[in-house]
Amino acid sequence: MGSTEHIERVTDLRAWPGDFPVSHLYTMGVAGERFFRELKDSGRFLGTRCAACDHVHLPPSIFCPRCFAALDEWKEVGPQGTVRAVTIAHHGVEGEPLDPPETLALVQLDGADDLLLHRIGEAQGVQIGARVEPVFKEPAERTGSILDVRYFRRV
């Protein structure tokens, strides 16, 4: 049997606001440090290759997630690549409408076996199979983040 008390009027409803008051500070890890420094300082993408699996991992890692071998073979990949999947987002992270809508894609950079998620800019008519290239921020603006690439656009 439930309580017999009820709130009769909508105006009596109360909500208490709150938030999650801490932020998170991440470091990149050994492989991430090298990947993002290379992106920042030289505008190049690096992957690591597992000889046993014949697989180039992107982003790079220091062990192979498939066979657990330690990886120390670094390889430049891209900068160009091929769109393997594409979608258009009409709503943002908090559900707000995006105007203009944002195009996102999984790009396979030349030489890499894994796909990289990023935005597609100047996106009219980009489809699976399209050849794309990165558009970087100016060197002085780069911070060692995946956003040092503004977006990928059709070659």
Partner 1 sequence: MEGRSPPGTPLSDEAIQQGKVLTLEWPSSLRYAWDTGIAIGRFLEELKNGRIIGRTCHKCERVLVPPRMFCERCFRPTDAWRFVEDSGAVNTYSVSYLRWDASRIDDPILVAVIEIDGATSGGFLHHLGEVKPEDIRIGMKVKAVWKPPEERTGSILDIRYFRPS
Partner 2 sequence: MSTCHPHPQGAFVTIFDNILERPLEPNLIWIFALEMQRYMQTYGITKEEIALVSVKNKRNALDHPSAQVAEEITVKDVMESEVMVAPVNRLDVSPVSDGAAAIVLVSEDVARRLTDKPVWLDGVGWNLDTAYWTNRDLAFPAYVERAARMAYKMAGITEPRKQINIVEPYDPFSYKELHHLEGLLLADKGGAPKLTADGVTQRNGDMPVCPSGGLLGVGNPIAAAGLMKVAEIFWQLRGEAGRRQVPGQPKVGLAQAWGDLMQVGTVVVMRVD
Q: Is 22 in the site for partner 2 (CB under 8 A)?
A: yes
Q: Which residues in 66-85 contact partner 1 (CB under 8 A)?
A: none
Q: Quick one: which of 9, 10, 11, 27 contacts partner 1 (CB under 8 A)?
A: 27
Q: Is 11 in the site for partner 1 (CB under 8 A)?
A: no
DSSP for 91-131 reads E-TTSPEEEEEEEEEEEEETT-SS-EEEEESS-TT--TT-E
Q: Is 100 in the site for partner 2 (CB under 8 A)?
A: no
Q: Is 13 in the site for partner 2 (CB under 8 A)?
A: no
Q: Is 70 in the site for partner 2 (CB under 8 A)?
A: no
- Residue holding tokens 């009027």? 9
Our CB check for partner 2 shows the closer of 42 and 145 to be 145
Cα-Cα-Cα-Cα torsion 37, 39, 44, 50, nearest 10 degrees, comes to 70
Task: Please give the Cα distance from 87 to 75 (Å, whole number).
Answer: 29
Task: Please give the Cα distance from 41 to 44 (Å, whole number).
Answer: 8
Asked if the bond preceding 101 is cis, omega within 30° of 0, the reply is no
Q: Quick one: which of 16, 54, 94, 100 contacts partner 2 (CB under 8 A)?
A: 16
Our CB check for partner 2 shows the closer of 6 and 14 to be 14
Q: Is 7 in the site for partner 2 (CB under 8 A)?
A: no
Q: Is 12 in the site for partner 1 (CB under 8 A)?
A: yes
HSE at residue 155, side-chain half, CA atoms within 13 A, is: 12
Q: Is 20 in the site for partner 2 (CB under 8 A)?
A: yes
Total residues binding partner 2 (CB under 8 A)? 9
Task: Please give the Cα distance from 119 to 153 (Å, whole number).
Answer: 9
Of 1-9, 50-58, 71-79, 106-114, the window that binds partner 1 (rule: CB under 8 A) is 1-9
Give contact residues for partner 2 (rule: CB under 8 A).
16, 18, 20-26
